[in-house]
Structure 1
Amino acid sequence: MFVPTSPEAEDAAGSLVRSVPLHRNRKFMLLFTGSTLSVFGNCFHSIALNLWVLQTTGSAAKMSLITVTHMIASLLLGSFAGTIADRLNRRLLMMICDSSRFLIVSGIALVMAHLDQPFMWIVALSALSAVAGLLQSPSSQASITDLVGRDRVQQAAGLMNIADNAARISGLAIGGYIVAQFGGVIAIVTDAILFGLSALLVFAAGTFPQAERAQTEQNSFRQDWLEGIKRVWADPFARGVTFLTTFVILFFVANLMLIQVMAVKVWQASPIHFGLIEAAIPLGYAIGAVTIMGLSKSPRRRGHLILGSMLAMGPLYIAIAMMPQAAAAIPLILVVGTFFSFCTLLVNVIMRVEVPSELQGRMFGILGSLTSVAPPLGLTIMAAMADGFGASNVLLFSGVGLIAVASAAWLWLKPIRRYQ
């Protein structure tokens, strides 16, 4: 596993907050609120902009161009963004990024309101907003350990993941509603305001403990970037985390699409059942996150729980594929959401505990790059197969594939399997 380069410095940074409950940790709560608003605004921005493009241009290709631009930016710049987050003051970087997104998204609203042919301007400004988001995310993620202490990381990560999940769901829903009721410009202006509020909350939090840690600016940017990639690749634990997270998200997002297709084409689900299917995953995820928070005081066999949950999702997908009606599949979908929480959230916790704080920005940056590419890749492959072989058959095949991948992970990812 990783060995921190300056354990004394890390202990000093965490000692001031280690005994403070999360709800009394002012710095963390302000970062938590700002981060949630930032995630909400980002999803809000995505759905509002995509809907506006479809309504005004009628072109799905133009809408997909914005999505592809974001994906390319994440793939190319994720590791660089993580290196920047490790080299600079993370709190300052978060404030700059959210302030920049406030200005950029305000510019998008202005272009939408006043230019006759705004699309390429919107693509360019949207790409700039995505780059600012790439810098903000690893800075926020890597700051948590310093703010709460290692003994409260599991609780903090669980709380942030629940809030992130709620923010993503509500951001998509509310964004679509505001576009429908008030138009895309109002929705985008609201999004800009949320980014501005996030920057103000991080400013109000005051200095982060990272400032007390030994800095490594003596190295060049290129040296730090290469060091991060080498250390992530050379360590079997880090490689395992990267492999596991990427494949879990790839299968999960693609299979969720297949379940939605089955709900419409196979089960002919009513609006009520379709709504319950949509709600089952986030509800299951929240149940898993709350369970993990409850287990934080006596963590045991977390590696078994991670890999066992990944393995159990395979048979559940097979069972869902064989269900004749939506009502029978909903409880299974709920359990999938819970197991997905165990797979992803516990891995997130272990990363914060085992990866040195000064390297966490690069770790989250690299993972962000891979996990931004995995969902659209999985969606493209599974959608093409579903058109040819049927969604239920592809979901069954995907469940078998997930069992194979999880079994390989159980055999070969020993650092994760043995983790307590």
Structure 2
Amino acid sequence: MSDSQSRPTDRGSDPPSLWSNSPYRIFLASQTLSSLGDSFSYVALPLLVLHSTGSVLQMGFVTGLTGVASIVSGLFAGLIADRFDRRRLLMLTDGARCLLFLLIPVVWIFSTPVWLIYAVVPLAGVFSMLFRVTYVTVVPTIVAPDQITRANGHMYATYAVASIAGPALAGFVAASAGPAAAIGIDAATFAVAAVGILFVKFDGKPRPSEASAERGTARQEFLAGARFLWEHPVLRPLTVLLSLLTFLTYGLTDLVVYLLKHDLDQSDTTVGYVLAAGTVGTFIASTAVARIRKRFGFGASWIGAFSLAGIAVGGMGLSQSVPVIAVLMTVNLMCTGIAGICSMSLRQEVTPSHLLGRVTSSFWTIHSALGPLGAAATTAAAAGLGVTTVCLVIGIAVLAITLSGTMTGIAQPHTVDRPAGEAP
């Protein structure tokens, strides 16, 4: 019997509330603190570089180093998550980031060696990616199979809160006590998160028999995640289509900013309001995704969400109204959030535990690889052709790519979407 067939369904009777699950509550709180820490460092580190050097170029180097470290570490993070005790890995990644970031404010008391930031950032980026991959692998061990989508919705919501609150708090602390102090608070969040994992009980290790069965050469193990994606009738087309969609939409925020500033002559404050309004869609997605998938199943939820997102992108290009653009941004983020949570949940449901880390890192690496190239292409096209034309083309292309999923395994009924006892 396959892994997906052995799991309970997500359309049966309503499961007990996740809030009655003590390990899950603690894990969610720890994950929120880790996300808040990531958001703090995202603002505090470039600010510290600017305060120390006055160079916007060096600020860009710091941000670029973080991205490079995440991409490179993503290649091997899955293998590590599948090889070692995942509970200890979560504690290690948070503890390591705590010590690395704590080093900066301590040293800054005596001197301001900018080289230290360039040494800390790549290492912290490695541990951050290892944490992200590992936490995906442990969610199915903390909650029931029919609660995975709901749990991922909660995680998605906490990440959105951290993404909003973290930069705002980091900016406030940096303004009042200096960027080094903000990084010190960042370190403290990771320390508390690491301690919180101590109180979460779950099966942190893949089954020895399963893990040993997958052992081979380093190259074979590295490619195991990609091979699983390719051989799975749903994950294969999902990965291909998401790679194309990521290429098209990676630079969407830049296009919206350009539309508001260049075409509509709006202020920076208005840009901030529109982007903040879009985050409302994230919260709607996190609260509605479990019910939507339960009602319509994975295929219809994913295809329907991305189709509506494509229509919203095309509408943004046509609109000259700031409130309408804000609403369409909300719709777009809501739909991409629903599709993303459904996608993550499906991978967790159909992937054997001992392989989930490698499948997760392979999926992220493959489908996001074209993103930076797409952002450069779409923004360059907008500069030459105008945002309206580019958004219309992107919207139509997103809709066409998404609807092509109806001819793949994505649209087929899946065991995890059928009530118990229903024939395939």
Q: What is the TM-score of this pair, normalised by structure 2?
A: 0.87
Give the aligned partner of residue 290 of structure 1: 287
Correspondence list, 1:238-253, <5 A: 238-253=235-250
Tell me how far 1:120 sits from its aligned partner.
Answer: 2.8
**Cα separation, partners in 2 of 1:382 and 1:173, compared to 1, 3 Å:** farther
Q: Which residue does 1:176 correspond to in 2?
A: 171
Match of 1:4 in 2: 3
CA distance in 2, matches of 1:305, 1:293: 10
TM-aligned CA deviation for residue 271 of structure 1: 5.9
Distance between the aligned counterparts of 1:313 and 1:42, measured in 2? Answer: 27
Is 1:46 aligned with 2:45?
no
* Structure 2 residue identity aligned to 1:202: I
1:129 alignment counterpart: 124
Higher deviation after alignment, 160-169 or 364-373:
364-373
Aligned twin of 1:15: none
Amino acid at match of 2:180: V
Quickly say closer, same or farther: Cα 1:64–1:288, change in 2 above 3 A: same
Aligned residues: 407
% of aligned pairs identical?
Answer: 24
Q: Specify the alignment match of 2:379 in structure 1.
A: 383
Amino acid at match of 1:288: A
Which whole-Å CA distance do the structure 1 matches of 2:345 and 2:102 have between them?
35
Task: State the 1:268 CA deviation.
Answer: 2.5
For structure 1, the 5+ residue unaligned runs are: 12-17
Structure 2 portions without partners, runs of 5+: 9-13, 418-424
Distance, in Å, in 1 between the alignment partners of 2:327 and 2:311 is 14
Instruction: Tell me whether 1:59 sits opposite 2:68 in the alignment.
Output: no
- Is 2:186 the counterpart of 1:185? no
| Contact 1:273–1:327 under 8 Å retained in 2 | no
Which residue number corresponds to residue 145 of structure 1? 140
1:204 to 178, 199, 202: 199
Q: In the superposition, relative to structure 1, how do residues 76 and 215 fare at CA in structure 2: closer, same or farther (>3 Å)?
A: farther
Offset at residue 197 of structure 1 (A): 0.6
Matches within 5 A, 1:222-233: 222=218, 223-233=220-230
Normalised by the length of structure 1, the TM-score is 0.88
For residues 326 and 157 of structure 2, the distance between their equivalents in structure 1, rounded to whole angstroms, comes to 21
Letter in 2 for 1:310: F
Q: How far is the alpha carbon of 1:285 from its aligned partner?
A: 1.8
Residue 161 (structure 2) pairs with residue 166 (structure 1): yes
RMSD: 2.6
> 2:55, 2:107 → 1: CA distance?
18
1:395 to 385, 391, 396: 391
Distance 1:179 1:213, change over 3 A: same
- How far has the Cα of 1:354 moved from its partner? 1.4
Equivalent position of 2:73 in the other structure: 77
CA contact (8 A) 1:74 1:369 kept: no
